A and B are shown apart, each in its own frame.
Chain A
Amino acid sequence: MEFLAFLPNLFALDVLGAVFVGVLIGILVGAVPGLNGAVGISLLLPLTFALPPEVGLLLLGGIYMGCMYGGSITAILINVPGDVVAAPAAMEGFPLTQQGRSKEALYYSIFSSMIGGVVGIMVLILFTPPLARFALQFGPAEMFFVAMSGLIIVGALSGSLWKAAFAVAFGLWLSTIGLDQISGADRFTFGERDLRSGISVVPVVLGLFCIAEMIGNIGKRASDLVQYTDQQITRREVLGEMTRHKTLLAKGSLIGTFIGLLPGVGTTLAVFMSYAEARRTSKNPEKFENGSVEGIMGAESANNATVGSSLVPLLALGVPGSPTTAIIAGALVVHGIILGPSLFVNRPDVAFVFLYGMLLTVVAMGLIGAFGIKYFAYILKIRMDFIIPTILVLALFGAYSLRNSLFDVMIAIGMGILGAIFKRVGVPPAPVVIGLVLGPMIETNLSRSIRISEARGMSLPEYMLSSSLGIGLLIGVLVLMGIVVQMRRRMAVVEEQVQASREGADR
């Protein structure tokens, strides 16, 4: 084994230190609303220029890994997801906190994150070349189908289908604001310079989730918000329960790994897909959105699995698959490291230490997460009148820091007010974000497909189904639609039963 030669480098003190510090920063950055991996990494990027390449890279890799988990902590404890990927954790984890089961939710979250993280990195280590080739097969037509499947997932969330459809449509519309990527035309900008750069996802998430939640908390008494008597639960009990959900965790990790390969939207899509899958196969679907540990397992295993797989195209081809990996690529380039197949030939010292070091980031995340839980729970002891201003300030700071833009702060505030209204009338916020993320992907890939089909002298359907992958994905989209329809029927039945039993109890 070639990597054995580099094993001593891996356990060098500075490497281990970088891993630990990176993960710790990542968890903190992830937990703070609005600061995500991309922000954390770009803040520390200049620092890495002074470090040896493998140390600097692992510092960044540690942040990436840590922040995927960190967002779940505040999501579970105070219903404030630090990032889009933590939204399902908030949907399932916060109800558990309200039931006095916050420790349990946090344990499920950290252990599922570890499993997903390890699977993603192992896949990165073992299968990078074939997976990179597989990822390349996704052309405009294939990406279009993938994005459509993401829209269908919205149907799997509970509540009114019309309200969810409205939320998605609103998100899709938001995504059209700004310079049209394809034609370069201004849309809905009213000549405003700031609107030309479009509405970015982070301030919308901060507004709809964090600020709206805080607005909702204003005026509530502390006792309405959280139960201080948190039930005790041991790590062993949680792990024991998790062994009964091996398939769920495996599916979550694999969904995260495969969808995470796709550039741009991989992570968000993977998390929601895995969450919907957990819900579909659950024996207790009525618990969803009311505190389901299965939902946490599905979403959390998927989001950390995307860390490894989104690095696959970067390392194998030099193609960054997410904003975070794009910044990591920038760091590599500054160190004079050329990405692509030659990386393992030219700089095996860096490549192997980085790859195996990423496994250590999972270990560090597990240690910090599992032993930090008793300290995280102190957040619940803080009085709400302190939490509200703190979160609001952090959310506005986060919105600003993304592009150093006051305009983004305005967006976050506007979305916060809108989110509070949405909450009142029962419009779910998650589909807005899904629409906003998928909108450009659907639009640009459809219009690219149209242009390419014309150049190739084919009709659009002919071009879109010219590869077997395209046909397979179309079938996948149709099957998914069928499943969602079935799920909604089942959900309706469950709701009726719940209703009936409630009425029975009342009598």
Chain B
Amino acid sequence: MKRIPSLVLSATFVSLMASTAMASDYPTQAITVIVPYGAGGGGDTVARIVSDKLSDELGVTINVVNRPGAGGEIGISEMAAADADGYTLGVFGYPDNFVIESTREVDFNSDEDLVFLAQFDNMPMGIFAKPNAAYTNLDELQAYASENPGALIIGESGALGLLSALALADNLDVTLTDVRYGGGGDLLNALLGEHIDLASTSSMSHDPIVDAGGAPIAFAASERMEMFSDVPTLRELGHDQVMEVGRVIVAPAGVPDEVLERLTDALDAISTDEEMIATFANASLPYAYLGHEAVNEKIEASNAAFGAVIEAHADKF
């Protein structure tokens, strides 16, 4: 049984009536963008910035609807189940969908139910040390952790935080004790209060941690970040660990070709908008646009990498 909230329901009802109009006229009415997280977070911010521009480009209103719950599962399930007419889209942080469907029984299957239209930003996960730690770079950390197996406590929040922490321990060949936190704020509090030794969290936490005396050890990024060019990547330190959250925009699978084309063209068109790029920079969101084809290539490759880590630690999920 699927419970479809009335907002989506009414949107689909209206769109059913409108679908008698030609798909080539698309769009003729307001579009709903589902965000599977609460208001105010990174994913929500990206959705709102993009919707604003996309709405100008397409000439219709775009309503952002937050549907948080169960780590994104609720909202993503709804995107997958929505009518494929182009009037319901979704924005979320990849690989939340992949981690959820590989670790639980869920009502959606990204490969079959979703079309990835584009990626807007790409935020790597980072490893940070608490203030006054005896280790402030990866070598020192590895040495300390090898001498004291299991003694170092790494806090993490969110699916990707855990994956990144597990992969780090594997790559360094050390034992860390992972402790889960409900949100990035709680995690930061624990690290800055020195209740835990390390934190596995996104690069967005860089400034508050460094300001309070903590140290960034490395980012699990494919290349150095422009904003924090002094922080090394795990890759250049010899560990092939790339863990990035890419905010993607998706449509339910089966949208008509004309609609898909109109959407991807519009997204490509706004992708070079300087005002929008500046807004991303202001919000400390690392802008990294990938169009329809590029984002699908990336996801295929990343799914394989994440899948391997999840499989190696099946007991943790």
Q: Which A residues lie at the B interface, using CB under 8 A?
A: 41-42, 45-46, 49, 135-140, 178-179, 181-182, 184, 186, 191, 193-194, 196-198, 263-264, 313, 317-321, 323, 326-331, 333-336, 338-342, 400, 403-407, 440, 444, 448, 451-452, 454-457
Contact = CB atoms under 8 A, between A and B. Distances in A.
B74 interface: yes
Given A317-B188, A339-B208, A455 B70 contact: no
Contacts of B66: 42, 403-404
A203 B185 CA distance: 24
A340 B196 CA distance: 20
Nearest to A335: B282
Interface of B: 3-7, 38-41, 44-45, 48, 64-71, 73-74, 77, 103-107, 150-153, 177, 179-180, 182-183, 185-186, 188-190, 192-193, 195-196, 204, 207-208, 211-212, 279, 281-284, 316-317
10 contacts: A179-B70, A191-B105, A318-B188, A319-B185, A319-B192, A333-B45, A338-B207, A403-B38, A403-B74, A451-B153
A49 B152 CA distance: 41
Contacts of B39: 41-42, 45, 327, 330
A108 B40 CA distance: 35
A404 B189 contact: no
Contacts of B150: 454-455
Contacts of B68: 197, 403
Given A333-B204, A400-B5, A456-B151, 20 more contacts: A42-B66, A137-B193, A184-B316, A184-B317, A193-B106, A196-B69, A317-B188, A317-B189, A319-B185, A326-B185, A330-B44, A333-B45, A333-B284, A338-B284, A403-B66, A404-B67, A407-B3, A448-B179, A451-B179, A454-B177
A326 B40 contact: yes
B74 A197 contact: yes
Contacts of B65: 404
Contacts of B48: 46, 49
A330 B3 contact: no
A271 B207 CA distance: 33
Nearest to A136: B193
A330 B41 contact: yes
Nearest to B2: A193
Nearest to A341: B211
Contacts of B189: 135-136, 138, 263, 313, 317, 319
Given A340-B211, A454-B177, A136 B192 contact: yes
Nearest to A405: B5
A135 B185 CA distance: 13
Given A326-B185, A333-B45, A452 B208 contact: no
B6 A406 contact: yes
A403 B69 contact: yes
A323 B186 CA distance: 12
B188 A42 contact: no
B208 A193 contact: no
- Does more than half of chain B's interface fall in helix, strand or loop, or is it mixed? mixed
B97 to A, nearest CB: 14
Nearest to B205: A318
Given A181-B182, A196-B69, A451-B177, A404 B211 contact: no
Contacts of A333: 45, 204, 283-284
Contact of B70 (A191, A193, A263, A335): A193
Contact of B5 (A135, A191, A330, A404): A404
A451 B44 CA distance: 33
A253 to B, nearest CB: 24
A139 B5 contact: no
A452 B105 contact: no
Contacts of A42: 38-40, 66
B208 A197 contact: no
A198 B70 CA distance: 8
A193 B182 CA distance: 19
Given A45-B40, A403-B67, A455-B177, A317 B192 contact: yes
A140 B3 CA distance: 37
A317 B152 contact: no
B88 to A, nearest CB: 13
Nearest to A324: B40
Contacts of B107: 193
A334 B192 contact: no
A331 B40 contact: yes
Contacts of A330: 39-41, 44-45
Contact of A138 (B70, B74, B185, B193): B193
Given A136-B192, A326-B40, A335-B282, A452 B180 contact: no
Nearest to A333: B283
A452 B40 contact: no
B237 to A, nearest CB: 25
Contacts of B5: 400, 404-406
B208 A319 contact: yes
